[in-house]
Structure 1
Amino acid sequence: MKELRCIVFTDREVVTAITERRRKLNDVFPEGDVTSLDYTIDRGVTAKLSVTLNGAVSELAIAEQELQAAVVGYCMSRNIPLPAVADKALYVIKGRATLMITMNFRKPARLVVLGVE
């Protein structure tokens, strides 16, 4: 048996995931309000946050590994079960960040013989 599971995140959930991860790791996050979130798909998914404070706009680029770690951490902190032994990849589907989890895709099928005595 093979399993494919997709978790689709809203923009607000992605921004929350990134800010929570950065706060946990004591990484710098610009002060202000997040005014936009854009994804770029080129050999992986990256995100760009625009943060506005007093009319000044700062941009923050989030690499794929950080983005994926942020959404996985977001799921874990909200007790959303994720299999430890599974492949996890980040995609953008219909403009939304989507965590795709696959299990047993690399295992060969087992041959089961019935009725042999």
Structure 2
Amino acid sequence: MRELRCIIFENLEIIKAITGHRRRTGKPLPPGQIGKLKISTSPDIVVTLELIPDDGHSLFIPSSGAELAAALIGYCIELRVPMPVSAKKALTVLDGHIALKITKN
């Protein structure tokens, strides 16, 4: 028997997760305002943040794969959402939102 949990993230939560993860790993975002967040799913899930620096020229910062998963898992841990270490974790998209699937045997 297996257990499946899905944690679905709102766009603001994804932004907080990515910015927090980048800060923790020593790669903070450049100064500026975050504009839009774009989710693409083909061939892999990629979240792209549009950053508008003070000079007004948009900068696009992608996040995907292990980096995106680590950011979302770190965000959950920060909020004290139970995150079983031994469970399999995978990213998916549900109803246009990024979700973290957690499968535990």
TM-score between the two structures when normalised by the length of structure 2: 0.92
Q: Kindly indicate whether the alpha-carbon contact (under 8 Å) linking 2:19 and 2:28 is maintained by their aligned counterparts in 1.
A: no
1:21-40 equivalences under 5 Å are: 21-40=21-40
Q: How far apart are residue 13 of structure 1 and its match?
A: 0.4
Q: Which amino acid aligns with 1:45?
A: I
Separation of aligned partners in 1, 2:80 and 2:35: 28
Q: How far apart are residue 73 of structure 1 and its match?
A: 0.2
Separation of aligned partners in 2, 1:73 and 1:82: 10
1:29-68 equivalences under 5 Å are: 29-54=29-54, 55-68=56-69
In the alignment, is residue 13 of structure 1 matched against residue 13 of structure 2? yes
Q: How far apart are residue 93 of structure 1 and its match?
A: 1.0
Which runs of no fewer than 5 residues in structure 1 stay unpaired?
105-117
| RMSD over aligned Cα atoms | 1.2
Which runs of no fewer than 5 residues in structure 2 stay unpaired?
none
Alignment-derived partner of residue 115 in structure 1: none
The percent identity for this pair of structures is 36
Q: How far apart are residue 44 of structure 1 and its match?
A: 2.8
Q: How far apart are residue 72 of structure 1 and its match?
A: 0.1
TM-score between the two structures when normalised by the length of structure 1: 0.83
Max Rg structure? 1
